[in-house]
Amino acid sequence: MAKNKTAKTEETTEDIVMATDEPSYEELKARNAELEATLVQKEEELAKKSGQAGRKEEVLAYLQEHGHVKVADIAKAIGISDRNVSSQLTYLRKAGYAIATDSRGFKFLESQPEPEEAE
């Protein structure tokens, strides 16, 4: 019977070791990227549902009109939070707009995507 108890103890120890294994840095980094992509997608869906899809265009128009501007200035002018402005800038970048930041922290539009040609 002692042999059986030893085998059971070894199995339990192995189960504990497997249960406490931590994910690798690469696994954590990949999971973080997945979660960030999901978050951006959900924020876009929420914005569309709540009628805020036009904020991206408002931020873009403000950048085009005023040139080099601080996020806080855009937020104040449009009436949204700094964080929301940053999110809108992220969406614009994903849409192909090159939005840069100068050495003073001002955002500006470097370039915009080429208009699609009608076939």
For residue range 14-62, list pLDDT tens digits in order: 555 555 678 899 999 999 999 988 888 887 777 666 655 588 899 999 9
Please choose, from the candidates 89, 90, 85, the residue with its C-alpha nearest in 3D space to the C-alpha of residue 75.
85
Helices (H) and strands (E) in the chain, counts: 5, 2
Domain boundaries, the chain: 1-52, 54-119
Nearest-10 Cα torsion for 42, 31, 92, 97: -160
User: What CATH architecture does domain 54-119 belong to?
Assistant: Orthogonal Bundle (1.10)
Is pTM beyond 0.85 here?
no
pLDDT in tens, 15-26: 555 556 788 999
**Interatomic CA distance for residues 110 and 89, integer angstroms:** 13
Closest by CA to 39, choosing from 91, 107, 92, is: 91
Residue 111 forms beta bridges with which residues?
98
